Amino acid sequence: MKIAIIGAAGETGTWLIEHALERGHDIIAIARSPEKIVSNESRVTKRRGDGFDRQSIIDGLEGADAVITSVGKKNLRDKRYYLNTATHENVLAGMRQHSIKRLVPISSIGAAKLPRKGIRRNIYLFLRRKYYGDMNDMETQVLDSDMDVTVVRAPFLHNSNARNAYETIEGNVLPNGRKVSRADLSNFVLDVIEKDMHMQKIVSIADPDSA
Ligand SMILES: NC(=O)c1ccc[n+]([C@@H]2O[C@H](COP(=O)([O-])OP(=O)(O)OC[C@H]3O[C@@H](n4cnc5c(N)ncnc54)[C@H](OP(=O)(O)O)[C@@H]3O)[C@@H](O)[C@H]2O)c1
């Protein structure tokens, strides 16, 4: 399969590329700065694409069989909290143009708009409320589209190796486990695409031993 990854220079993007290559896929790696994409494998085609720049996303998706989005912003001073809806509007346009049907966006458990335990956690969610509100809107936007969509909600991510001990749940947030490794997340996302799992669903992932 030829899988387009948007946010390919990011940390999860890097794990996704590595694992997708191991599984025999070809990659279209799309990033704002393609020179930051770590892999130099010949099966990785690097393209410049900014979620806010419609034409770059449309052009970037040409030739893909499926799309994964792993787009996020860490900088709280960046006021473009609408990153996810803007990006996915352009992704959906690109998918229609190139007749691509399968889309797996990586979202966040923050999009579930549930109160969480711990005052620090709730202050963090409050400060990022517009950003998570936009993610929630993005989930509706893609699920209401004409595409074959699975939204994967991630908890706090870290860079340990895969443990293959994660749990998933459809339509909710897992009660145990507030973290998962990017390695496990990327393996799960690739399973979802390869096996057509959780079609038209939101699915959350967490490692139960990481609470
Ligand atoms: N980190 C967490 O704990 C956490 C928790 C829950 C959910 N998530 C979600 O999981 C996914 C991966 O997270 P991560 O921490 O591994 O990500 P990351 O390393 O921060 O990578 C995110 C990528 O998004 C890219 N990006 C930002 N704005 C963009 C734009 N306008 N157009 C195109 N690309 C853009 C960034 O590109 P640049 O390299 O150019 O900045 C970056 O490479 C994201 O969807 C995130 O929202 C993360």
Helix (H, G, I), strand (E, B) or coil at 56: helix
pLDDT band at 164 (very low <50, low <70, confident <90, very high): very high
70 lines ligand 1 (CB under 6 A): yes
Domains and CATH numbers, the chain: 2-210 (3.40.50.720)
Facing residues of 125 across strands? none
Q: To test the ligand 1 pocket, which listed residue (38, 48, 50, 71) has its Cβ within 8 A of the most ligand atoms? A: 71
Query: Which atom number of ligand 1 is nearest to the Cα of residue 12?
Result: 16
Cβ atoms of 98 and 152 closer than 8 Å:
no
Residue 150 has pLDDT above 80, yes or no: yes
**43 CA to centre of ligand 1 in angstroms:** 23
Rounded mean pLDDT, 22-37: 98
- For helices 83-97 and 129-143, the axis angle rounded to 10 degrees is 20
Cβ atoms of 116 and 162 closer than 8 Å:
no
Helix (H, G, I), strand (E, B) or coil at 40: coil
Cβ atoms of 110 and 135 closer than 8 Å:
yes
Residue 211 has pLDDT above 60, yes or no: no
pLDDT band at 100 (very low <50, low <70, confident <90, very high): very high
